[in-house]
Amino acid sequence: MPDRQPFIGPVIGGRGTESRDRAELAALDGAPLATIGLAPQLLAQAALNRVRASADGSVPPPELFATAGKLFATAELEGETPQEYRRRVVMATGTPAGAITRAIDGIGNSLGMVERLNRAELPAPFEVPGYSTHWVPRGSLLAAVVPNNHPEPNVTWVRSLSMGMSVLVRPGSKDPFTPRRLLAALLAAGLDPDKAAFLPGGHDMGEHLLAQTDLGLVYGGPAAAARYAGRGDVLVRGPGRSKALVGSGAAQDDGLLDDLVRWIADDGGVRCNNISLVLTSGPAEPLAEALAERLAALPVLPVLDERATLPATSRGNAEAMAEYLAELTAEAVDHSSARYGGSPVADPGDGTAVLRPVVVSVNRPDASPAGTELGFPFVVVAPWNQDDGTGPLRESLVVSLPDEHASLAPRVLREPSVRKVVTGRVKPWAGLPETPHDGSLAQFLLEPKGLVTAEAES
């Protein structure tokens, strides 16, 4: 039975606010999912003024975030159970149910260790009698423009609160549920109501908030990354374009092929650290064929099924994607579509459309569509040789070096546009809280200042 349809409107001062500007959010199958109350610019400005007026740089205790994490994962909040939340996110975004279940646990765990996460991103404390270094916020107000593809990036704006920032959150159009539930959990745990505001709206809303606040955090695609690339006051988390470089025998290595399939398709391929380009020092087409065969075996299941591994979308979006893919891959060799009768779009029988994996090969690492990242398992296989060096690995959130090319790791780490390197048969998203994932949030939000006291003269 579908759960009741909620109204999700602006939250200012810890309270829901009515809005006459509304939008209907439909599920992938076309059924009504939620009514969204959009914040007009005047209301957003009033919220911004209120939050700024009370922004004092105070830091909530770590226990508050730990409690909020538990509430987020287990409690009924604003009349919404965890099960209702999970269903809404799945049916709005198409991200497989199992991925959302894992994300709920991941958010809860991350909020339980915000102090450890923050401490890991800063240098060891310096202090001798009379002299000390203090990391303090670069401003008082952060605008966070958050994504739709996966819930866990929302942890970033919550961590900003833990470093003394006050936050204005503009949710994604498909997933207002996650930031709204997180704010409800934080308020229930005791967060000062004027520390954060929730302001649904379109791109204009995001632009307005980014123009009026001290710092900004933006999740988005290539256009957003290009738009804000030159702004030192905006931290951009754009496409991952994660890559793997494998050896000449990869097409015959069953274990490596199985690993690559997981790295490409885990969580439906929607994450920025899923592999979207495989470079090989062997021939590209046999490797692409082997990957396409394995990826084609992933089952087509309704997206709410916990066993589902592939993302879903509406039928209209699926048809548009199929047309886009035909144009995008026109100059490449398609190793997948023929396995599906010519189209990667599948019908799971629940009124949605499932996007099956697509593998293509090209004859050069810089040939189109290499470098393209899509919201389902889409991967390009291209040849690589020693003369190419690390150039084809640039512009990557993660570079995986699982076999004979692991010795390149130090060189790849020195590439400014590579954020992380993984060697061996290790998942691209593997890490500890102390391992940087995409730079340092703390060093973006905070700056070091010196304090010298009278003890220095003693």
Q: Is-contact 51 168, C-beta < 8 A?
A: yes
225 against 444, higher pLDDT: 444
What confidence score (pLDDT) does residue 223 get? 86
- Let me know whether 42 and 112 are in one domain: yes
Q: The CATH number of the domain where 337 resides is what? A: 3.40.309.10
What's the mean pLDDT in 3-28?
A: 92
Domain that holds residue 148: 7-238
Give a yes or no: residue 437 inside a domain: no
Q: Is-contact 209 136, C-beta < 8 A?
A: no
Token representation of residue 212:
């009026």
Q: Which of 197, 212, 238 is the last residue of a domain?
A: 238
Identify the DSSP state of 173.
S
- Let me know whether 256 and 379 are in one domain: yes
Give a yes or no: residue 439 inside a domain: no
d(CA 355, CA 333): 19
pLDDT digits (tens, 9 = 90+) for 137-149: 999 999 999 988 8
Q: Write the CA distances from 197 to 159, 250, 355, 395, 443, integer angstroms.
A: 15, 50, 35, 33, 24
What confidence score (pLDDT) does residue 1 get? 45
Give a yes or no: residue 447 inside a domain: no
Binned at pLDDT 50, 70 and 90, residue 456 comes out as confident
**Mean of pLDDT over the chain:** 94
d(CA 241, CA 218): 17
Report how many domains make up the chain: 2
d(CA 243, CA 439): 18
Q: Is-contact 73 67, C-beta < 8 A?
A: no
For 143, list phi and psi in degrees, rounded to 5.
Answer: -100, 125
Query: SS3 of 408, please?
Result: helix
pLDDT digits (tens, 9 = 90+) for 234-262: 999 988 999 999 999 999 999 999 999 99
Q: The CATH number of the domain where 120 resides is what? A: 3.40.605.10
